[in-house]
Structure formats: structure tokens, C-alpha cells
Amino acid sequence: MNESLTSLKVEDAYTRDIGKGVMRIDYDSMDSIKARVGDIIEIKGARKTLVVCLPLYPSDDGKGILRADNLVQDNGIRKITKVITKNVTVLPLDPIPPGTERYLKDALDGVPVIKGDKIAAPYFGKSLLFQVVKATPAGVVSNQKTKFSIAKS
């Protein structure tokens, strides 16, 4: 599938979506790429990343915009098949508390991950920032069966 959303104006993500691997578009745009709410969308620019496709809030509907955080903005978009990852290895980009590996399974449930992505796990009103160093199979979404490992710096 090679459909794109290049005619949409890219706007900043809603605050609640920042760091969650989410792209929001209107339903007509979803139809144009044959995507539905919750589908995994591949963003291709200088590198690939994955996002979850969600609808815009009603106040933005019909404005011809796409909302995504700064990690996914200004890239081409197409739908891909969802694959559930078995193992993800992340490198902490900030200091992390003990027991974080167990926490990641819940915090990142349903978040798309691909090698090289930066991902944020919400943590007591803040976020713990990580970089994905390995995800098998590649091009995947994490779930409760995903095993997370933390790489040593």
C-alpha cells in the first residue's frame, strides 16, 4: 500500500499524546490510506518509525491537519500490518529507578516500537526516556507478553 497523507498540514500533538507513538488524522484521511482507529502506521522519512492511528478531536475535524509529536513530524505515512513483538531491548536515556523492566510491560502496552526509536514511559507525572536498541521481530507493537530488557550504557 503506497497511499500517503502528504496534503495534510502537520500540527503539534495533543499534550496527552506526546511520547506515546500516536498520530491523529480525520476519518476521511484514514479512509484514504485504508486505515482504521488503532491501526499501526509506518512513518518513513530519514528513517522509519511506527505510530498508532487515532482520530482527531471533533474541534479539529475537517481542518486538513495531522497531529503528531516532534519525533514523527514531517514524514511520509503508510499503513503496515501489525506484528506483536516478543523481545525489546531499550537503552535508558535518563537515570531509571530499580525494577523498571517489569514496569515497562504495563507502561508500553500497545506502543509501536522499532529499532532506533525513542520512546517515553510515563512515570509519576514525568516520563522515562529510552531508545530501542533491539526489537524482535522488527516493526512491532508491544503487549503484555513482550519481554523488556534494559541495556547497559
pLDDT above 90 covers a percentage of the chain that reads 38
Residues 21-41 pLDDT 10s: 899 999 999 998 899 999 998
Residues 83-123 pLDDT 10s: 888 999 999 998 999 888 888 988 888 888 888 888 888 88
Number of domains in the chain: 2
Mean pLDDT across 132-148: 86
Domain that holds residue 95: 87-150
Out of 54, 79, 104, a domain closes at 79
The answer to whether residue 3 sits within a structural domain is no
Q: In this structure, how many other beta carbons lie within 10 angstroms of the beta carbon of residue 83?
A: 15
For the entire predicted model, the pTM comes to 0.67
Q: What is the DSSP string of 46-78?
A: SSEEEEEEEEPPGGGTTS-EEEE-TTTTT-EEE
